[in-house]
Copies of this chain bind each other. A is one copy, B any other.
Amino acid sequence: MYSLNVRDHFMIAHSFKGDVFGPAQKLHGATYVVDATFTRPELDADGMVVDIGRAGAQLKAILSELGYRNLDEEPAFNGLNTTTEFLAREVFDRLVMAIRAGKFGMEAHGVTSVSVTLSESHVAWGRYEGRV
Contacts and interface: CB of A to CB of B under 8 A. Distances in A.
Interface residues of A, number: 62
A48 B121 contact: no
A58 interface: no
A4 B47 contact: no
A89 B124 contact: no
Contact of A2 (B7, B120, B127): B127
A75 interface: no
Tallying the copies of this chain within the complex gives 6
Tell me the dominant secondary structure on chain A's binding face.
mixed
A3 to B, nearest CB: 4
Contacts of A2: 85, 88-89, 126-128
Interface string A91-132: 000000000000001000000000000001111111111100
A5 B124 contact: yes
A53 B22 contact: yes
B85 A49 contact: yes
Given A121-B31, A126-B2, A43 B85 contact: yes
Given A23-B67, A30-B31, A49-B85, 6 more contacts: A2-B85, A20-B105, A27-B69, A28-B68, A33-B121, A43-B83
